[in-house]
Chain A
Amino acid sequence: MLLSDSDQAMINGEAGEAARIAMELLLATAEADGANELIGISGAHIDGCLYHGKAGVDFARSLLDAGARVVVPTTLNVSSLDLLHPELYRGDPDVAAAARQLMDGYVAMGCVPSWTCAPYQLPGRPGLGDQIAWGESNAIVFANSVLGARTGRYGDFLDICCALTGRAPAVGLHTDEGRRATLRIDLDLPDTLLDDDLVYPVLGHVVGELAGTGVPVIVGLDERATEDRLKALGAAAASSGAVAMFHAAGVTPEAPTVDTATGGREPDTRVSVGREELMAARAALNQGSGPLGAVSVGTPHFSESEMETLARLASGRSTTVPFYVNTSRDVLEAAQQKGTAAIIERFGAVFVTDTCTYITPVMEEVAGVVMTNSGKWAFYAPGNLGVEVALAGLKACVDSAVSGVITVGEEW
């Protein structure tokens, strides 16, 4: 491993005990991943602030006791608690106390209390070519694919090690070679389908199953693939698979052409995805058939434009079931200033910030199927919450909430 003078100084403990511990873990994983050197990063996003048990708290505490302080701008992912709406929490108070301790620990290290899984919706997001170290699978895939920033898949613990040292292993998606598409996915779809929001998370689910850990290039999307739609696609692909980056030819910044995405080489594999495959994936994610119990949208966290769309759909209407909107405190504040938040609240929806409905007990006891517009939520909620899920576009979610009857929208 080729180490810089400052790397060596950190290993020797000259930058403090916390930086030494962080560098030790960073080097062990860098070696596992086959890195020959470390590179500097300009920012980090920490997933380790979500409570999964005592080990996380003990780790944060051990770093803090060693004087931990981040050396690059560092944002925090969702946690287990909604600090703006604490009354929503319905779980074990002891868990809440431990989760709060974990959150406070990361803030004490100098991280920004952003509490969002969509740091790419915050001001000052990274851009093309920026080297960063992000945790949270949907944020990772968005940063690499849509922003053209460069991050590996940083798990809990390793994320903060990068933030404490300002370094990351120079492998995989940090390098040109690691970003080259090796799988080509040709879409063979009726053109009008690309106007349907629901196509994007469902396509993401299929892409994740096809690509696994690989980097695919999707051929057949166009300018209708907005940031919100690419966000839904990536989040689903990082749930059904381990996709950390995709290219969309003619859409994403490193794929003006298919050739650019593949580095001018033939992809190892080439597959076609048509209406049949999408319909099968949609059916697989739609397990619910009973009465409508609740609706949850905003996984990943709603953007300002998604707030506006929801406000338009919900204006002057009322939901008949609990309706949850997951978003960040920053986006909520913007929506409050614009007046869209008030419209959504009059509709009867509940805002959930700082966390998400599928990772912590905030939803009321659900009698019936939960509808969502998120492929990621549909993938994880049955296991996490033990609920049945119906997946549909945002309009169908709102219409169903008003009527109280599940209508999943048009057949494809």
Chain B
Amino acid sequence: MADENDDLILADLSDDELVPQIHDDLYDGMKPEIEEAVHILLNRGWTPYDILTKALVEGMRIVGIDFRDGILFVPEVLLAANAMKAGMFILKPLLAETGAPQLGKMVIGTVKGDIHDIGKNLVSMMMEGAGFEVRDLGINNSVEKYLEALEEDKPDILGMSALLTTTMPYMKVVIDTMIEKGMRDDYIVLVGGAPLNEEFSKAIGADAYCRDAAVAVETAKEYVLRKHNRAKAG
């Protein structure tokens, strides 16, 4: 089998064949192949933005669907995200040069009083894997720490995580403070963590509850798109 696989020469594929091949290789977490394919498309005159969105982000979208559906699990998803990031590493300086639109930026952290971080780390990794820029504030974040990071980074999204029923109410403290300071509507607020649900997210004034990392990525994309559309319209 390995020999047959080696027979596949990426450079011999047409664009129409290479893009689905990139999706497959991302799915299988094949980092060197992703790097090679990104270089091939660049040499063929593709814009960095098209490579990012049509090849890499679309590939990760498929990975996200199968993760959500319980077909892929965390190890496979992280391998895919690592491969995606390798491709992204090549594209990043070029994207900046060409002034391509950014997918979005997120500040994320576990709330004050809560020391759990595995779920939050997965969201960070998958968001990066999907092409977002992420600043991870770690665990046990006070409202001051969140606001400071928002001021500094001006992200599109604020993500908050909590694993304890005793700490999840702190999310409301952060959102209430944002409202007081008149800055709530400048950000998309996404919340997640095992004991949360949709109802709770609505009750505290978040934009959305994200059940898992795959849902977080999809929700982030949807809200950022809406935000950008609104900005254009306004």
Same complex: no
- Residue numbers of A with Cβ under 8 A of B are none
